[in-house]
Chain A
């Protein structure tokens, strides 16, 4: 993989509430953001993480009502 012209950054979210043997399973790792290239975002990654952090803060501060099956 030399001379890569384009790089794209995925942001993955792992739910540690799941049991330890499940939380790192492929199907339980959540793909949340796809940061476009062509270069890596570097320090400005904060800009891109904004929507995700907003949702996480909302869940932390206020929470959401959900039906517990």
Chain B
């Protein structure tokens, strides 16, 4: 008989080991206990056997994120192989992903080697990310970081894979699609130079120049924009959030955390919440599409 760490027994009741296995599989483990670095009810051997180590957790997390991104592609690719004629949308995406798969595999191979052959704590990716974290957190200048990168590889053992310049590091990190878009804007806030205005040199409304003008000579410096808007695309980021198991669970929290016993604990259990869901579906069915304005109207009505 051992103490059962499942959600219902919560380390209070004792069960036979086979029952514990059944409990853990069907009910899951007690969340609070799961997060403990040492499972004190079950001795150290259990903890080490289950592979709970906090020291390498951050590194694992980084690799996990990256792997999740990579497996996503593999999954889609294999789906494509299994189903000969997948439905339109998925086929298109799978094809697109398939094209990118080779790139991803190359990137993964590039990111996974240890920092130097006998290094246990860091792989290339985690080393670069943690260095970059320190840079941003302390506001190091690009120059100082560049100089650090020039010196560091000399201090490390031979055959290390650390980049030697900031440019290389940035290029490496960019392959994660975590960058931002630069969109040129009119100085007088008339428009953004994107889509149909992409190639214009002057604002279509106020005729102001898109490029910087030298105040003394009046020469237009083509290629140097006056105003730049920075946009961090959200779709890719949301997609990536769904790729980590924990985040995906949190993202569906309102849907999965409805109470089943008919008692109210959160607005999600209320009648209004259900009504809202139904009315939004109605709107979408009726019009095919639904504007944010419609949603607002529906919200106001329900209140």
B290's partner among A18, A33, A61, A65 (CB-CB below 8 A) is A61
B244's partner among A42, A50, A61, A69 (CB-CB below 8 A) is A69
Minimum CB–CB distance from B266 to chain A (whole Å) comes to 8
Minimum CB–CB distance from A17 to chain B (whole Å) comes to 5
Within 8 A of A (CB), among B67-105: 68, 72, 75-76, 89-90, 93
Is the beta-carbon distance between A67 and B243 smaller than 8 angstroms?
A: yes
Is the beta-carbon distance between A69 and B248 smaller than 8 angstroms?
A: yes
Is the beta-carbon distance between A61 and B245 smaller than 8 angstroms?
A: no
A37 and B156 CA atoms in complex are apart in Å by: 44
B257 cross-chain contacts in A, Cβ below 8 A = 19
Is the beta-carbon distance between B251 and A18 smaller than 8 angstroms?
A: yes
B229's partner among A35, A55, A58, A64 (CB-CB below 8 A) is A35
Is the beta-carbon distance between B190 and A66 smaller than 8 angstroms?
A: no
Minimum CB–CB distance from A57 to chain B (whole Å) comes to 7
The reply on A60 being an interface residue by CB < 8 A is yes
A32's partner among B234, B245, B290 (CB-CB below 8 A) is B234
A21 and B272 CA atoms in complex are apart in Å by: 22
A64 and B231 CA atoms in complex are apart in Å by: 19
CB-defined interface of B19-30 with A at 8 Å, one 1/0 digit per residue? 000000000000
B282 cross-chain contacts in A, Cβ below 8 A = none
The reply on B261 being an interface residue by CB < 8 A is no
B228 cross-chain contacts in A, Cβ below 8 A = 36
B232's partner among A17, A31, A64 (CB-CB below 8 A) is A31
The residue in chain B whose Cβ has the minimal distance to the Cβ of A16 is B254
Is the beta-carbon distance between A65 and B229 smaller than 8 angstroms?
A: no
Interface residues on B, range: 35 or more
B232 cross-chain contacts in A, Cβ below 8 A = 30-33
The residue in chain B whose Cβ has the minimal distance to the Cβ of A33 is B231
The reply on B13 being an interface residue by CB < 8 A is no
The reply on B199 being an interface residue by CB < 8 A is no
B90 cross-chain contacts in A, Cβ below 8 A = 65
Within 8 A of B (CB), among A24-47: 30-36, 41-42, 44, 47
CB-defined interface of A44-56 with B at 8 Å, one 1/0 digit per residue? 1001101110011
Is the beta-carbon distance between A36 and B251 smaller than 8 angstroms?
A: no
Is the beta-carbon distance between B189 and A41 smaller than 8 angstroms?
A: yes
Is the beta-carbon distance between A47 and B235 smaller than 8 angstroms?
A: no
A20 and B253 CA atoms in complex are apart in Å by: 9
Is the beta-carbon distance between A47 and B75 smaller than 8 angstroms?
A: no
The residue in chain A whose Cβ has the minimal distance to the Cβ of B255 is A17
Is the beta-carbon distance between A17 and B251 smaller than 8 angstroms?
A: yes
A59 and B295 CA atoms in complex are apart in Å by: 14
B189 cross-chain contacts in A, Cβ below 8 A = 41-42, 44, 47-48
CB-defined interface of B216-251 with A at 8 Å, one 1/0 digit per residue? 000000000001111111110111001111011011
The residue in chain B whose Cβ has the minimal distance to the Cβ of A50 is B192
Q: If A36-B228, A69-B248 touch, does A48 touch B234 (CB 8 Å cutoff)? A: no
A68 cross-chain contacts in B, Cβ below 8 A = 242, 248
B242 cross-chain contacts in A, Cβ below 8 A = 66-69
The reply on B191 being an interface residue by CB < 8 A is yes
**Complex A-B: 30 CB contacts under 8 Å:** A13-B234, A15-B238, A15-B251, A17-B251, A17-B252, A18-B250, A19-B253, A19-B257, A32-B234, A33-B232, A34-B230, A36-B229, A41-B189, A47-B186, A47-B190, A47-B191, A47-B192, A48-B185, A48-B189, A48-B192, A48-B229, A51-B183, A58-B235, A59-B234, A60-B292, A65-B89, A66-B239, A66-B243, A67-B75, A67-B243
